[in-house]
Amino acid sequence: MISERSSVPPADAAAKYEAVIGIECHVELKTASKMFCGCPNAFGGEPNTQVCPVCLALPGALPVPNAAAIEHMIRAGLAFDCAIPAFSKFDRKNYFYPDMPKDYQISQYDMPLTQGGVVRYWLADGTLRECRLTRIHLEEDTGKSTHAGSGDGRIAGSTYSLVDFNRAGVPLMECVSDPDIRSADEAVAFLDALKRTFVQLGISDVKMEEGSLRCDANVSLRLRGAAEYGTKTEIKNMNSFRSVHRAIQSEIERQTGLLERGERIIQETRGWDEAGGVTHSMRSKEKAHDYRYFPDPDLVPMEIDAATVERVRAALPELPIARYERYVDAYKLSVAQATQLVDNASLAEYFDRAVDSAKSPAGVLNFVLGDLSRLANESGIEVAHSKVTPEALAELVALTDAKTINSKVAKDVLVRLWNDGGSAKAIVQADGLAQVSDPAAVGAFVDAALAANPKSVADFAAGKENALKFLIGQVMKASRGTANPALVETVLRDRMR
Ligand SMILES: [Zn+2]
């Protein structure tokens, strides 16, 4: 293993080159059973308890495709404007691997379920980007090896590995992007787009920590403005979006250094070393054709008719990119606010329902991302499952916007709605919480406060502005928070002139 520590190249060298990045991403599909047998598709079972003759590749066992997984694929394809060919087929990808009992993997080669497509995504500053997809195809996952000792693998003088076949045969979707990505930031934003879309479609949990999303990145550099691609390396072993970012950045810097020194980039697979913060050479890159793909003779080609595609299309939910653009364009939400809502679909649906009733996106947004989210965090109850209905929130926003109640009272009413449910209007009426903007009524509260606090009156006369704040507080308290605060200040200043 050769490790090359990357040093950050000078800025002019970095500006000279453009990074060209493509992503390959494996996503486990969420289905009840595995891809070609009835074994449960579940994470975390005791080793080798979710297996059968089919996924253990016992002689004579025949695979039967999982219709739900194929439908998930069509959903993913339609979400990203992929073509869904009428005919597709499964192929065998042949290789020896100890955690693959068949010694081949059922995958797709020249006729995948989807072709082409484009992922539209946004960066943290709101810039919209597009990355074309080469294809999304369907295959089966492998089992999992654990190398004993996790370091030298040596127990009592012998080396051994444990194999768990529970994961063998789990439906796996592979998304292959075109090399349209130009930076580590874009790569992570692209992956965020895939993740939030698959979650919204309900086709995967997309949990990197459980291995249901795994990705590799192809990275090469070329002189800015050049049409030809440079030699690429493939980076593996990235186990979080943060490590994807760090690994790509480190590889860009390593390649920049090599090119600046007039050295050659070698086409190879490189592993990401999280602790060291560098990539290291794993092996020179084998050709894709080494796998001797051929159509799986146990599986008939798939025919996807137009009616099926249209049925699936009609049932697609609003996609994250569409929701994001609606929030930014129609409601003028900031990038961060829109992203926060888009990444919490139940909160976004709640927001939409409240806005429908309230017609005041700004007011609803303040409560949803502010006090309501705080109450949800404190209690562990999702906003959408709380006692505050979107309609009650809409009423509260309308009462606040109309200045029937002030913001302090609104916060108190919200807490009462959270605890007891009900209607904001009813609470305000029953408890006489409507804001008092009648000068005579406010004047009465002010006179009482002045009479009770002669020292503050004297302090204010001596130029102490803080005394005014204290008196405003006294008036608000006496009015149980209902007095119009702006009017209170005006009347107080007037009386003490
Ligand atoms: Zn099985």
Using one digit for the tens of pLDDT, what is the confidence trace for 46-91?
A: 999 999 999 999 999 999 999 999 999 999 999 999 999 999 999 9
The predicted structure's pLDDT at residue 9: 67
Contact 390, 424 (CB under 8 A): no
pLDDT in tens, 297-348: 999 999 999 999 999 999 999 999 999 999 999 999 999 999 999 999 999 9
Cα(301) to ligand 1 centroid in Å equals 21
pLDDT in tens, 4-33: 555 566 778 778 999 999 999 999 999 999
Cα(295) to ligand 1 centroid in Å equals 21
Residue among 426, 373, 419 nearest 395 (CA): 426
Total domain count, the chain: 2
The predicted structure's pLDDT at residue 3: 47
Cα(75) to ligand 1 centroid in Å equals 25
Contact 475, 482 (CB under 8 A): no
The predicted structure's pLDDT at residue 446: 92
Q: Identify whether 197 is part of a domain.
A: yes
The predicted structure's pLDDT at residue 72: 98
Cα(303) to ligand 1 centroid in Å equals 24
- Is the pLDDT at 485 greater than 80? The verdict is yes
Average pLDDT (457-484) is 90
Which of 96-100, 276-280, 490-494 bottoms out in mean pLDDT, i.e. has the lowest?
Answer: 96-100
The predicted structure's pLDDT at residue 419: 95
Q: Identify whether 350 is part of a domain.
A: no
Q: Identify whether 6 is part of a domain.
A: no
- Is the pLDDT at 434 greater than 70? The verdict is yes
The predicted structure's pLDDT at residue 10: 73
Q: Which of 308, 343, 368 is the last residue of a domain?
A: 308
Q: Identify whether 102 is part of a domain.
A: yes
pLDDT in tens, 340-378: 999 999 999 999 999 998 878 899 999 999 999 999 999
- Is the pLDDT at 1 greater than 90? The verdict is no
Q: Which amino acid is at 386?
A: S
Residues β-bridged to residue 30: none
Q: Identify whether 360 is part of a domain.
A: no
**183 secondary structure, DSSP code:** S
Q: Which of 275, 308, 341 is the last residue of a domain?
A: 308
Average pLDDT (104-129) is 97
Return d(Cα 309, Cα 354) in angstroms, integer. Answer: 33
Task: Identify the band that residue 2 occupies on the pLDDT scale cut at 50, 70 and 90.
Answer: very low
Cα(64) to ligand 1 centroid in Å equals 11
Range of 182's domain?
11-308
Cα(38) to ligand 1 centroid in Å equals 6
Residue among 204, 219, 169 nearest 34 (CA): 169
Cα(414) to ligand 1 centroid in Å equals 52
Whole-structure pTM value? 0.86
Cα(444) to ligand 1 centroid in Å equals 80
Q: Identify whether 216 is part of a domain.
A: yes
Non-local (6+) Cβ contacts of 100 within 8 A are 142, 143, 168
- Is the pLDDT at 382 greater than 60? The verdict is yes
Residues β-bridged to residue 21: 181, 219
Cα(52) to ligand 1 centroid in Å equals 4
Cα(54) to ligand 1 centroid in Å equals 5
Contact 258, 7 (CB under 8 A): no
Cα(93) to ligand 1 centroid in Å equals 19
Q: Identify whether 386 is part of a domain.
A: no
Cα(50) to ligand 1 centroid in Å equals 7
Q: Which amino acid is at 332?
A: K
Q: Which of 308, 330, 364 is the last residue of a domain?
A: 308
pLDDT, mean over the chain? 91
- Is the pLDDT at 129 greater than 60? The verdict is yes
The predicted structure's pLDDT at residue 125: 96
Rg (CA), the chain: 31
CATH number at residue 459: 1.10.10.410
DSSP 86-147: SEE--EEEE---TT-TTSEEEE-SSS-SEE--EEEEE-TT--EEEEEEEEEEEEE---EEEE
Q: Identify whether 51 is part of a domain.
A: yes
Cα(61) to ligand 1 centroid in Å equals 10
Return d(Cα 308, Cα 19) in angstroms, integer. Answer: 40
The tokens for 301 are 């080609």
Cα(165) to ligand 1 centroid in Å equals 9
Which has more confidence, 35 or 149?
35
Cα(110) to ligand 1 centroid in Å equals 26
Return d(Cα 7, Cα 278) in angstroms, integer. Answer: 10
